[in-house]
Structure 1
Amino acid sequence: MAPSRRRAVLIGVNQGGRDVHLPALRYAERDAQAIRGMLLDETIGTFDDGDVTMYIGGDANWGDIKTKLRELALDSGPSDVLLVYFAGHALVPEWSNQLDAYLVTADLDPDGLRREPDNGLRMAFLKRDVFETFAGASFLILDCCQAGVYLDADLRHAEAMQTYRTQVDRHSALLACRSGSAARESEEYGHGVLTHHLLRALRGEAADDSGRVSFGQMATFVAEQGIEPPPVQLVHMWGPTTVLAQPPVSRHDRQSLSSPANPGTTRPCKSPLEDQSSSVLQLLGRVFRSETRPAQPPEQAGYADRVEIMRYALGAESVAAVEFSGAAIRVVNATPRFDKEELRPLLELSSADAIKYRTGMPGHIVSNDAGRRILCVPLLHEDDKILTLVLVDPAPALLDMGEPLAVMLRAMCDANFLGDPLQAEMRVMTALRTAFGRLPLNLYEYAFSLYQKLVGSMFMVFQPVVELALRSTGVSIQSFEALARRGDHETRAPLGALQMAYAWGDRFIIERDALLLSKAIHSYAAADAATSYQGTKPLSVNVAVRSLLSDAYLAQVSKALIEVDMNPRTLTLEISERDAIEPGPGERWPQEPLAYFHRRLTTLARDLRITFAVDDFGVGYASLARMAELPLTQIKVDRAVLHHPLAMDELALVARVARHAADLGHAHTPRPVIVEGYDDAAPITLKQIYDLGIHHVQGFFCGNTASVSLHDLEEPIRERIASLVRGEK
């Protein structure tokens, strides 16, 4: 683990600013000096001399302070601690509407703030540019009037304030008073009242049984002293565990400030996610936008490179993939400094508990009395072998994430975040969604934006639907289907990326379908304009049931058709049999689901002048009723049917259903049946398919593959298809 750095910036100003018109204070500078003395105390302090920076009196200039704080924020790691203390006056300009305040420094010019509002030490700057940027645990103490303005600084409405309180989970604050109130100094104490009780707490009056004083214990102690006006405390997840003072011991004999509370035991990773969203986003940034990415191209990077990035992101000493099999421990892959023999006692504890966790919690933490920790995340179970990701001494603050951290790490191990970081990051977000259900709003919106980028990175290729015939002159392209791809050399759809939408719900599904439809129509129009043959072939595009129930999606259909001047009757939307036709949560349909959906499609076909087909028949929710009763212009049979023992019987049944309306005189011609996914390895021949009355096939056969451009069938290909239809080898 990278060494933890504990930094403090202390500010004390008795008389500050130019023409501030605020009374001089007596003890603010003394208060800052007293806090410094406590933090650096040889016996109980927890900071080192070079890591505490103090600005007092005339040396407290806002420019220098902002530069120092910004440097500390940008240079921080997840194990670091930052404490900012201010004693003095706060100024709320009349034009700020009480939404921000300035900490009064020696050079603050109130008259110039209206023109240059950033020429001062704003509370909004502390919140936005320091604490929200700082990678580790951060703490703020304001012993000044108007300290409570910090709660609302730079926020414009109540909803935003709630979002902030959810986001900044790694930050805690202790404020001398609420907005509009005044802090007090005491001649009896010789300090500001808040600071007097802070010093009492740090000297041991707020200590726990082990003699330590955490920020949370200090804040609680101060709040219980009956101060008027009462102070305000925000103590988030790391506040109760970050120690500011400890029992009197020699600095050389100090125990680690982050040593485990119960050494030699294991504990499950905790949940929930609500108070950890900013930590989640920050960890994602360190993994997927890491400055330590390997120099070689992503396709050459291996598992070891991914493990090294995870080590960096978690501030761990080392990381390894370890296989536990009974009493045997085998290191499969590891970063430098992973010492199996040194860690053997902890690994043996982890192995003993691995079975207990294989069907329960996704990870566990093992620690010893020397302050060492390993985080173990089981990845794969096979017989009696358990492959586990082991992180040695990761940043303690990140360990507080608990179960979400384990879920994220497991998803990272399964994803290629070097070769395809966009899809990998979305897989991690989807793993959190699957594990925890509802996510905090900012994480949900981040995932939605990420998914838009992922779908936006796809491009469309067009696969021909071939019309079969006994003679080559009759073999032709009946239509094209638009298919999504992620890379130039991919021959299969990015199913993993496309199916992620179902874990997130309707909004993601509809957005996916709308983006892909727009891409398909625009790309097809461009490709069609570049072809040499006459007449535009029909185009089919996949769509989910939920999208067809969305007016927003249908508006996108109309918009895209108008933009490229495409005849709507050219477009067919293929409804997957993998989608259920049923009301969503909280919905009520006025009719039985199939009848309601039939009515919906009939209306859409009339109003939009587009057609519909059933896709993937033979899998999912496929049924004869669905195929027979919906107003469909064609039926597409999934390739899985071709490999079924009763394939011929199933195809014959589909063909009869497709002819049923025509046999009754309700339609002029039978609905076309298209067999999807046909290739030369199919167990059924083209002759057998043709003899059933099915005359359309789509797939990778006879040299026909999907392409970004539209190609007619060359004569040798048409002749070969015709010969296969005739049953000739």
Structure 2
Amino acid sequence: MAKLALLIGVSEYQEGLSTLPAAAQDIRAVEKVLNNSEMGGFDHIKVCHNPDLQEMQLEIETLFIGRQKDDLVLLYFSGHGIKDENNNLYFATRNTCKNQSGELRRATAVPARFVHDIMNDSRAKRQAIILDCCFSGAFDPSLKAKDDGSFNLKKQLGAEGRVVLASSSSTQYSYEQKEENLSVYTRYLVEGIETGKGDSDGDGRVSILDLHKYATQKVQERLPKVTPKIIVLKDTGFEIVLSQVEASKRVKQDISCTHIPKLEGIQLEKTRQKASTYAVIPSLIQSLTPFVERLVEHLNSYHLARQQDTSPVDKKDFKNSVLELLRLASDADFIFSMYSPHGESSWTLNAQSKLESSCDPTAYSDFLTSQVLAAVSTEAIFTTGHHGIYRFFLDERTGITKAFILIPIVSSDDTEFIAVCGLSQESQWLNDVFARVVSSFYVVSQDTDWNPSKVEALILDDLKRAYGFLPIGFYNRRFELFCERLAEIVIYFEPILDLRQVTIKGWEALARDPCTLNAPIDLFQAAELWGRKFTVELDVGLLRRAAKSYRQASAEAQQNRSHEITPLSVNVYPESLMRTVYFETVREITTPDDYGYTLLPADNLVLEISEKAELPKYQDGMRVRSPLKAFRDRLVRYTQELEVKFGIDDFGVGYASVARLASLNPPHVKIDRDILHQQQAEVIIRFVREIVAQSSKLYSAKIIVEGLDEQSPISLQRLKQLGVAYAQGYSIGRAAPQIYRLTEERREALRKMIV
């Protein structure tokens, strides 16, 4: 097994490309650490300084061809990275030049495709590329940018078993610091190997992944807007080891890892009984908080003004207003959107904000047409892997450089993008989080019936789905919006019919939006997206409301005596059942107060456990060894202390299983409505019935089929023949805020459907 490297540095260029003095120092510094027997330990290193086209191609081919399967081959390049008009990447040589139009003369540069093909032909299965060159963007006055362009690096250089380290993303510049000898990215690559700091896991080796993590952290400490990238296919390049850590440095690390005595057996509090002195680790999205807050503030003001205006809403004016709100919140000069109907090549203005008052409309329009839009391709805007592109332009009138961002609208029926024009060069909005907020706001605001709370909630939900952890302020605000939405919900009751006696044997409590009378899907989706706190709040709130509404409905129906109250089924997530607050809520509802009044007797409450959610893996902050056993033990406490019953909801979907069903031993099993529309529906129903009949634990469990309506392929008569005892759905009775007894006429009609 051999370790071979080719280090290419191009510092001198033809007219039209700036010199890069650091490139020469870069390759010498990399050579030093790779050549050291206690660090890189490479067997052969070729240094190639300022090659022409033929020399660079020949050296690259020589590096990869004729290698053995177990060889490690490294290609390092420091210099200009340039793209052509088709977004293809090229590596500049000392004789690379541009034509009179400023476009690359492709015959004078090495195409990335050439490197890709040569590497594909190599037998070596461990291949690494390190590129200290840039692919797009503008530059800070204190930094010299290496070039511009935007392309799909993974597509042009990626392959299984190959790893690519890039000093910046496909929409950013890479930099060399004027006052320093080395390029910024290369400096930290060398430092990570030379000092041993790149060995993040302390195993004495510096892998590609170790080095990437170290260099990325150090680069972003100095240049927060630059994001070095690591590209692998099928995770087969992460483990490539570039160097060892010198023995002297390993000794120091070993000493620092010495175990400190008397730290075993420490007891930590399970819950926060008082305010914690620890602060939450800040989110990288924190910088967007002012923008979101300003956007919501402008949104509320606009909504208030619209409520006071009784005139009809013009759709085009409304779209323009949406973009104006974004402009005000972002301090942009102008924002507009364009679309291409049905994927046509021509683009049409869809909506536009107002223009900042100091800008001349005619001059600005000419500038957008001749420079901003003329310098971009649709492929660059709509390429997957990033959420928008940007570029800096110098305003010759004012001498100020400003940013222009183009953001794709992915959910639009037509191909559409938004242009945010004239942001400050120092703006903190130049990131994909800003782009995602803009696109989310634009999409959800297309419905003229929206309200500010709904729009704000949907924006936060989109950020949560995209980034996972969000700033604590966003989390708390989303919880406030969630609770406000939960407070609007009303409870309707759907009857559960006994197919044998043709009587109502119980009711299921269903949450309903008071305006649409549909299920509040947004609430359930938000609870599942944001986690435990939301889920528990949802279940506690709906349980309280269901119990109060049911008691009131029973009184109005004159079924308020204890023997007249039929069981009420309330849905609950498994996670909530493990929480003390839910347990105490059930106790409060089912326990008589000082006057002997019980909101809902325990023997009339059935908690239906959703099979669409997995069983909790944690209890009181501690991971449980067996989630099923811990959950079963929790249910035993409910049944023994509170005497409530349990049912299985949605059996046949999600996390439902025979073992889980038998282990929980519920008094009734509800087959999900989706099963009815499957080809093997009857087979599944018979299968569940046989499980119940053959299991001693489930022998007395009742089977309920839900979701019966006019389109159901299985009739009530057929369900009874299959051994199903209970059913519910539109065919039996629609959910309503009242409960009732069946009239003789309705009972007779149902009997005819069953017999």
Normalized against structure 1, the TM-score is what?
0.56
Letter in 2 for 1:311: E
Shift of residue 461 of structure 1?
1.3
Q: Give the Cα–Cα distance (whole angstroms) in 2 for the partners of residues 288 and 375 of structure 1.
A: 26
The match for 1:518 among 541, 544, 547 is 544
Q: Give the Cα–Cα distance (whole angstroms) in 2 for the partners of residues 441 and 672 of structure 1.
A: 45
Letter in 2 for 1:308: S
Give the equivalent residue in structure 2 for 1:581: 615
Which aligned pairs between 1:216-615 and structure 2 lie closer than 5 A?
272-290=284-302, 293-295=305-307, 302=315, 305=318, 307-315=320-328, 316=332, 319-324=335-340, 325=343, 327-334=345-352, 343-345=368-370, 348=373, 352=377, 354-355=379-380, 357-370=382-395, 374-380=404-410, 386-393=415-422, 400=429, 402-415=431-444, 418-469=449-500, 474-491=501-518, 493-533=519-559, 535-562=564-591, 565-584=599-618, 591-615=625-649
For the pair 1:638 / 2:669, whether they are aligned, the reply is: no
Q: Give the Cα–Cα distance (whole angstroms) in 1 for the partners of residues 712 and 753 of structure 2.
A: 13
Shift of residue 645 of structure 1?
0.7
Give the equivalent residue in structure 1 for 2:726: 696
Q: Give the Cα–Cα distance (whole angstroms) in 2 for the partners of residues 719 and 347 of structure 1.
A: 74
Letter in 2 for 1:323: Y
Letter in 2 for 1:606: Q
Identity rate, percent:
24
Q: Give the Cα–Cα distance (whole angstroms) in 2 for the partners of residues 490 and 397 of structure 1.
A: 49
Q: Give the Cα–Cα distance (whole angstroms) in 1 for the partners of residues 497 and 376 of structure 2.
A: 57
Gapped regions of structure 2 (runs ≥ 5): 1-139, 144-224, 230-282, 356-360, 396-400
* Worse-matched range after superposition: 324-333 or 405-414: 324-333
Q: Give the Cα–Cα distance (whole angstroms) in 1 for the partners of residues 746 and 375 of structure 2.
A: 61
Q: Give the Cα–Cα distance (whole angstroms) in 2 for the partners of residues 303 and 719 of structure 1.
A: 56
Q: 1:547 to 1:352 in 2, by over 3 A?
A: same
Q: Any conservation in 1 of the 2:381–2:408 contact (CA below 8 Å)? A: no
Tell me the alpha carbon deviations over residues 546-592 of structure 1, each in whole angstroms, 9 at most, x when there is no partner. 11111112112222344753211211111111111241499655553
Which aligned pairs between 1:116-127 and structure 2 lie closer than 5 A?
none
Q: 1:396 to 1:611 in 2, by over 3 A?
A: farther
Give the equivalent residue in structure 1 for 2:743: 714
Tell me the alpha carbon deviations over residues 113-134 of structure 1, each in whole angstroms, 9 at most, x when there is no partner. xxxxxxxxxxxxxxxxxxxxxx
Q: Any conservation in 2 of the 1:637–1:676 contact (CA below 8 Å)? A: yes
Q: 1:350 to 1:510 in 2, by over 3 A?
A: farther
Residue aligned with 2:734, SS: coil
Q: Give the Cα–Cα distance (whole angstroms) in 1 for the partners of residues 426 and 376 of structure 2.
A: 24
Q: Give the Cα–Cα distance (whole angstroms) in 2 for the partners of residues 340 and 670 of structure 1.
A: 76
Which aligned pairs between 1:15-30 and structure 2 lie closer than 5 A?
none
Q: 1:655 to 1:580 in 2, by over 3 A?
A: same
Letter in 2 for 1:581: L
Letter in 2 for 1:458: I
Which aligned pairs between 1:98-113 and structure 2 lie closer than 5 A?
none
Shift of residue 640 of structure 1?
0.7
Shift of residue 524 of structure 1?
1.5
Residue aligned with 2:713, SS: coil
Shift of residue 278 of structure 1?
3.4
Structure with higher RCO (Cα < 8 A, 6+ apart): 1
The match for 2:690 among 656, 669, 679 is 656
Q: Any conservation in 1 of the 2:528–2:535 contact (CA below 8 Å)? A: yes
* Worse-matched range after superposition: 418-427 or 599-608: 418-427
Q: Give the Cα–Cα distance (whole angstroms) in 1 for the partners of residues 416 and 226 of structure 2.
A: 19
Give the equivalent residue in structure 2 for 1:683: 713
Q: Give the Cα–Cα distance (whole angstroms) in 2 for the partners of residues 340 and 675 of structure 1.
A: 63
Q: 1:544 to 1:369 in 2, by over 3 A?
A: same
Residue aligned with 1:497, SS: helix
Indicate the RMSD between aligned Cα atoms, in angstroms. Answer: 3.6
Q: Any conservation in 1 of the 2:288–2:429 contact (CA below 8 Å)? A: no
Letter in 2 for 1:361: H
Q: Any conservation in 1 of the 2:603–2:643 contact (CA below 8 Å)? A: yes
Q: Any conservation in 1 of the 2:287–2:428 contact (CA below 8 Å)? A: no
Q: Any conservation in 2 of the 1:615–1:636 contact (CA below 8 Å)? A: yes
Normalized against structure 2, the TM-score is what?
0.54
Letter in 1 for 2:436: V
Q: Give the Cα–Cα distance (whole angstroms) in 2 for the partners of residues 693 and 434 of structure 1.
A: 43
Q: 1:637 to 1:587 in 2, by over 3 A?
A: same
Q: 1:306 to 1:330 in 2, by over 3 A?
A: closer
Q: Any conservation in 2 of the 1:314–1:395 contact (CA below 8 Å)? A: no
Gapped regions of structure 1 (runs ≥ 5): 1-206, 211-265
Letter in 2 for 1:569: D
Shift of residue 318 of structure 1?
5.1
Q: Any conservation in 2 of the 1:568–1:609 contact (CA below 8 Å)? A: yes
Shift of residue 313 of structure 1?
4.1
Q: Any conservation in 2 of the 1:579–1:620 contact (CA below 8 Å)? A: yes
Shift of residue 689 of structure 1?
0.9
Q: Any conservation in 2 of the 1:311–1:391 contact (CA below 8 Å)? A: no
Q: Give the Cα–Cα distance (whole angstroms) in 2 for the partners of residues 557 and 585 of structure 1.
A: 18
Q: Any conservation in 2 of the 1:510–1:547 contact (CA below 8 Å)? A: yes
Tell me the alpha carbon deviations over residues 371-429 of structure 1, each in whole angstroms, 9 at most, x when there is no partner. 6754332222689x632233444687876263222222232234357524323322211
Q: Give the Cα–Cα distance (whole angstroms) in 2 for the partners of residues 586 and 550 of structure 1.
A: 8
Letter in 1 for 2:538: R
